[in-house]
Amino acid sequence: IAVYADGASVDGMLEARDKWDVAGFTTNPSLMKKAGITDYVQFAKDALAAVNGLPLSFEVFSDDFEVMEEEAKKLAKLGDNVFVKIPITNSKGESSIPLIEKLSKSGVQINITAILTIEQVASVVKVLQQGTHNIISVFAGRIADTGIDPIPLMKQAVALTTQTPEAELLWASCREVLNIFQAQEIGVDIITVTNAVLKKLSMVGKDPKQLSLETVQGFHNDVEALGFSIL
Ligand code: E4P
Query: Could you confirm whether 155 is annotated as catalytic?
Result: no
The answer to whether position 216 is within a domain reads: no
Number of independent structural domains in the chain:
1
Q: Which domain holds residue 67?
A: 2-203
Closest ligand 1 atom to 194 CA:
6
Q: Say if the ipTM goes beyond 0.90.
A: yes
Considering only CA atoms, which residue is closest to atom 3 of ligand 1?
172
The answer to whether position 230 is within a domain reads: no
The answer to whether position 54 is within a domain reads: yes
The answer to whether position 222 is within a domain reads: no
The answer to whether position 138 is within a domain reads: yes
The answer to whether position 93 is within a domain reads: yes
Q: What percent of the chain has pLDDT over 90?
A: 100
Annotated active-site residue in 45, 73, 74, 85: 85
The answer to whether position 215 is within a domain reads: no
How much distance in Å is there from the Cα of 150 to the middle of ligand 1?
A: 15
Tens of pLDDT, residues 124-160? 999 999 999 999 999 999 999 999 999 999 999 999 9
Tens of pLDDT, residues 173-199? 999 999 999 999 999 999 999 999 999
What CATH code is carried by the domain that includes residue 79?
3.20.20.70
Considering only CA atoms, which residue is closest to atom 8 of ligand 1?
173
CA proximity to 170, closest of 140, 206, 196, 149: 140
Quick check: 173 and 150 in contact, CB under 8 A? no
The answer to whether position 181 is within a domain reads: yes
CA proximity to 186, closest of 169, 208, 165, 202: 169
pTM: 0.97
* 202/197 Cα distance (integer angstroms): 10
